[in-house]
Structure 1
């Protein structure tokens, strides 16, 4: 049996699209885990980036170390002034948790992308200029990935994106998708 060129061209793109959807979904979950892991480690002091004694639950500040000692460049004074403040700690941790959960679950991808890009660009600007490149680092790469994830509706595959989008309030407010 031979397949006509017309049939072949309509079948292959759908199969390729299906595979691409899974690649985006896996990248979405992986990036979500990066955010969630940072939240969990800073909250409980799991001994990776944060020791248990310095955990948020034990009175440590999730922002103090980096903002006090990891900042450099033209905005260092601005960021150092926020180091350890309750406002910065709560905003940072809420961002990590919210972005991480949204990505892992595949819901609120547009909000997660905007919030994630903002958080990542702020983190990038806190340590200007990157040591190994004139301007590019992983924060900007992750920010670009977040935009791509939202644009391709990555939450619909291996996630709750379609279910989320069907909720009446979300359907009436597409920016929540």
Structure 2
């Protein structure tokens, strides 16, 4: 007499489902990470282009922020117009004394060029964040948003007593350095492998 053995019931394998879900989540996380890195890279290049444009306009006098014929190359001063126009804040007289000084012109222009070039190239973002933030804080102090009136008594037209675009730029520079935005579409990986950078990590 034939003996019928019971069919083996199908055993569920939850680990396979978990493994599939984990793989899907990893793939989605990789996509999100890549998108975030590329977004930061776009912001990095855009902000760098802003600094480079300011440098070129002040150097050649393209007729935008700097009138034609008033560029640095024509004998004009990149700092005189802005600093001599400071009309509020505790550093007003200090900025007036700096206006048009050769050392101030050179530091300002080298700062614009260095910060812009480093951002576009994607190198030395930590140092760039420090230098750029310092420049932005000084420009914030020159415009002094907390003032409701200028030194001549006229309204300052300040839109916010604390935050303005200079501080926003500083925060963006810091965020780019923290997020290591030098790698996508940049020379960050090559830069960090250079011997003098490897020995001086503050240059990253």
Interval of TM-score (by shorter of Structure 1 and Structure 2): over 0.9
Match of 2:171 in 1: 144
Paired residues, number = 176
Q: Would the aligned equivalents of 1:45 and 1:55 in 2 still touch at CA under 8 Å? A: yes
Distance 1:43 1:52 in 2: 10
Distance of 1:43 and 1:104 partners within structure 2: 19
Larger Cα-atom Rg? 2
Alpha-carbon distance in structure 1 between the residues aligned to 2:113 and 2:169: 16
1:161 matches 2:188:
yes
- Please list the CA deviations of residues 36-94 of structure 1 after superposition, one character each: whole Å capped at 9, or x if unmatched: 00000000001111122110001000000000114422211111110000010000000
Relative contact order higher in (CA < 8 Å, ≥ 6 apart): 1
Matched, 1:123 2:135: no
Q: How far apart, CA to CA, are the structure 1 residues paired with 2:201 and 2:87? A: 37
1:25 aligns with 2:41: yes
**Contact 2:41–2:182 (CA under 8 A) maintained in structure 1:** yes
Q: Distance in 2 between matches of 1:70 and 1:19?
A: 42
Q: TM-score, normalised by structure 1?
A: 0.96
Question: Which residue of structure 1 lines up, in the alignment, with residue 108 of structure 2?
Answer: 92
- Aligned pair 1:61/2:61, yes or no? no
Paired with 2:86 and 2:31, the residues of 1 have a C-alpha distance of 46
Structure 1 runs of 4+ with >4 Å offset:
none
Gaps of 5+ in 2: 1-16, 147-157
Higher share in helix? 1
SS of equivalent residue, structure 2 residue 85: helix
- The whole-number CA distance in structure 2 between the counterparts of 1:128 and 1:49 is 20
The residue aligned with 2:130 is: 114
TM-score of the superposed pair, with normalisation by structure 2: 0.83
Q: Does 1:82 align with 2:98?
A: yes
Q: Report if the CA contact (8 A) 1:71-1:79 is conserved.
A: no
SS at match of 2:76: coil
Q: Secondary structure at the match of 2:37?
A: helix
Q: Distance in 2 between matches of 1:89 and 1:35?
A: 15
